Amino acid sequence: MHEELCLCAEMTPLHTATRLALVIHRREVDKPTNTGRIGLLALRNSVMFVRGHEDAPADLSALDDPARRLFLLFPREDAVVLTPELIASDPRPITLAVPDGSWAQTRRCTRREEVLARAVAVLPPDAGPTRYLLRHEHVEGGLGTGEAIARAFAVLERQAVGDAIQRLFDLQVSRTLATRG
């Protein structure tokens, strides 16, 4: 993104008990249309794992922590909607693993990575259609990664956290569209 459109000055790191683990495909890391990185920039308690390198597979063993619950933000067949009741059902802090890439890349990631395959799959609550105008959604009801993170953190933490991430997401979309004329 052009320097004058950079989001860095808009970022105020948020402190959360929930840890964000962005599991990003290597081809997605440097794309200006990638919105998953908003979560990394906005949330102090976040980590990124890069996968898709044949010679250096991602080591996701840090996600296998019995002291924390692991949720996978992905629309698997067995996914449940994030609710306050689900969160309150177990006092352990939560790690939210979010695969980031194309639908094919993220689907493979959630099946091939054993720790993610065992995680509880969750969906953000419905908050209307996507505002992600940078790429075409191939799945009905699909969201941009940053948008999905915002909706999930509104439930996992508090609405203000979700709103702050959503504001950055909307800003990235509008600034990226501005570069396209």
> Half-sphere exposure of 179 toward its Cβ, with a 13 Å CA cutoff?
14
Q: What is the pLDDT of residues 102-126, one digit of tens each?
A: 778 888 888 889 999 999 999 998 7
From first to last of its 181 residues, what are the pLDDT tens digits of the chain?
A: 456 667 767 777 899 999 999 999 888 887 777 778 888 888 999 999 998 777 777 889 999 999 999 999 999 999 999 999 999 999 999 999 999 987 788 888 888 899 999 999 999 987 666 655 555 555 655 678 889 999 999 999 999 999 999 898 888 877 776 666 6
Contacts by 128-132, CB closer than 8 A, 24 or more apart = 131/169, 131/170, 131/173, 132/35, 132/169, 132/173
The CB density around residue 140, as the number of other CB atoms within 10 Å, is 6
Per the CB < 8 A criterion, the answer to whether 145 and 35 are in contact is yes
The CB density around residue 69, as the number of other CB atoms within 10 Å, is 19
Residue with tokens 């948008």: 147
Closest alpha carbon to 168 in 6, 4, 7, 21: 7
Q: What is the pLDDT of residues 13-39, one digit of tens each?
A: 899 999 999 999 888 887 777 778 888
